Structure 1
Amino acid sequence: MAAAPPRVPPIEPGDWTDETRAALEKWQPPLNFHKTMAHNPRTLANWIGFGQAILWDNLLSRRERELAILRVAAQIRCDYEWGAHKRFTLAEGLASEAEVARLASPIDPAEWSPFEAALIAATDDLLRDGGIGDTAWAGLAERFTPAHYIDLIYLVGEFVMVGMMMKSFRIELDEGFERLPG
């Protein structure tokens, strides 16, 4: 099935404001997501710092972050977020193709380490209930400090917010991004 066309076309770099250009100087080449965010340079500039902190200055390991992000993308059915983070996860060797594929399906805890099963369950809890349930909390407690829980909650929230924007604007997948299975 063909994807619906974008609701708003991305703004190409030649048409960016100085504020947009400054905000995206580190994102080269810019993705369709960034070029669409260029419609609101003020929000883009403010979001860049927040998004960077949530993604990179986070107590979760890179693998843990990507497992949670991919699970968010799968659960909210965001092809763009899935495609971007699947490509990154595989390119960085953070998970196998089979592990990534399992994140788009109902989770069998036996296929994950107990800690990673709890991480995925916590992500699902946040998406479903708006909070981490007791079972997932306990499964993370051996390795998580209160600061880790905060970083996980903000990570999930950030990628739900970004996914909502991507889906609402129907941002076209960049080259090399794959849609969610099914």
Structure 2
Amino acid sequence: MARVPYVTQDDLDPDYRDLVVSSLQPGKTVNVYSAIGNNQAVLHGFREALGAFWNDSGLTDRQREIVILTVAAEIRSAYEWQQHVNVAGDAGLAPAEIAAIARDDRSPFPDEERALVAYTRAVARGRVDDALHEAMTEYFGTETVVGAASTAAGYVALGRVIDALGVEIEAGDEFVGWDPE
């Protein structure tokens, strides 16, 4: 059960009303933003940061979804997993690859994506070492490594907020499970 009320668009100042609506599912209000909307300035900041990670990280859509799903699996955020399984499919991840991320099986992925999964898990654990950082830099370059680290850390933060506020999967939706095959 949510620990805070879910605000509606009508509860928010006009400048913030659109922030509780999913950019991925036009017209759909999502619980994570409705919960964070209890502090409109924080909601605005989260949406700005997530937008930057989404659009400016240097990662492809597929790579971005690998990062987000890896974080969700690592911190066991069922809510964030649920939100991104379909997005990941649209970004080119096969159901078998998505299931592999959940169980930390890197074998279906090429070396570059294996490094991305390893790096993301290390960011989520707070355990990035020099060798892993150097491997990532060889594959992606410094700018994208900064984007990948920021995206991973940002989604860890979002997952922790989801947990702290007790955000639930939207009414009428059923958890897809850690193995969507």
Q: TM-score, normalised by structure 1?
A: 0.85
Q: Does 1:173 align with 2:172?
A: no
Residue of structure 1 equivalent to 2:8: 12
How much does 1:17 deviate? 2.3
Deviation, 1:160, is 0.4
Alignment of 1:1-182 (within 5 A): 5-21=1-17, 23-24=19-20, 27=23, 28-90=27-89, 92-107=90-105, 109-128=106-125, 130-174=126-170, 175-176=172-173, 178=175, 180-181=177-178
For structure 2, the 5+ residue unaligned runs are none
Q: What displacement does 1:125 show? A: 1.4
Query: Identical aligned pairs, as a percentage?
Result: 24
Q: Deviations over 1:22-51 (max 9, x none)?
A: 545774322111111110001112222121
The CA distance in 1 between the partners of 2:132 and 2:37, in whole Å, is 38
User: Retained in 1: the 8 A contact 2:9–2:18?
Assistant: no
Q: Quick one: distance in 2 between partners of 1:117 and 1:39?
A: 38
* 1:138-160 alpha-carbon deviations (Å, 9 max, x no partner): 43333321111110110011000
Q: Which runs of 5+ in 1 are unaligned?
A: none
CA distance in 1, matches of 2:5, 2:80: 18
TM-score calculated relative to the size of structure 2: 0.86
**Aligned Cα RMSD in Å?**
2.1
